[in-house]
Amino acid sequence: MCVSDPQMEVQAPPGTTVGFVKQDWHPFLPKFSIQGADGQTLLRLEGPCFACNCCGDVNFELKGKDGDQSIGRISKQWSGLLKEVFTDTDNFGIQFPMDLDVKIKAVLMGACFLIDFMFFEKVGEANQRSSVFS
């Protein structure tokens, strides 16, 4: 059975696709392709091995489409032990080149929400809330 690679479509305004965030398979690193509306990969996003990132910022490096040079990042910023343990509030920062196309900036915002949802949201009865995705 072959399963297609997971991806998220970003629309702005609703009904108009501006790009995609596609998860790329890797055995232990979170990796994503940032794609334009035509599905062409424009940038790459690479996260850390989570076993190595306790009690500090978690950086997802934004790289060119060949994956060589870092040009920015999406960071989940450490809020302190009490806030991290007892709340579901997260702080994120995004850095990207100023001259980046506004549509790709919107796709990066979508990637930020996806990263939060995939890696940092708590799951269980104690933290159920309505979803904007349903």
What's the pLDDT at 87?
64
What's the pLDDT at 26?
86
Instruction: Output the average pLDDT for the chain.
Output: 82
Q: Is the pLDDT of residue 75 over 80?
A: yes
What's the pLDDT at 116?
87
Q: Residue 38 contacts by C-beta under 8 Å, 6 or more apart in sequence?
A: none
pTM: 0.79
36 occurs within a structural domain: yes
Helix H or strand E encompassing 51: none
Give the residue numbers spanning the domain of 50. Answer: 7-121
- Contact criterion met (CB below 8 Å) for 70 and 56: no
The residue count for the chain? 134
> Which 3 state secondary structure label does DSSP give 48?
coil
90 occurs within a structural domain: yes
77 occurs within a structural domain: yes
1 occurs within a structural domain: no
Q: What are phi and psi of 45, to 5 degrees?
A: -130, 125
Q: Is the pLDDT of residue 128 over 70?
A: no
Domain count, the chain: 1
- Contact criterion met (CB below 8 Å) for 40 and 55: no
CA dist., res. 92 & res. 86, Å (int) = 18
Q: 74 forms bridges with which residues in the sheet?
A: 60, 94
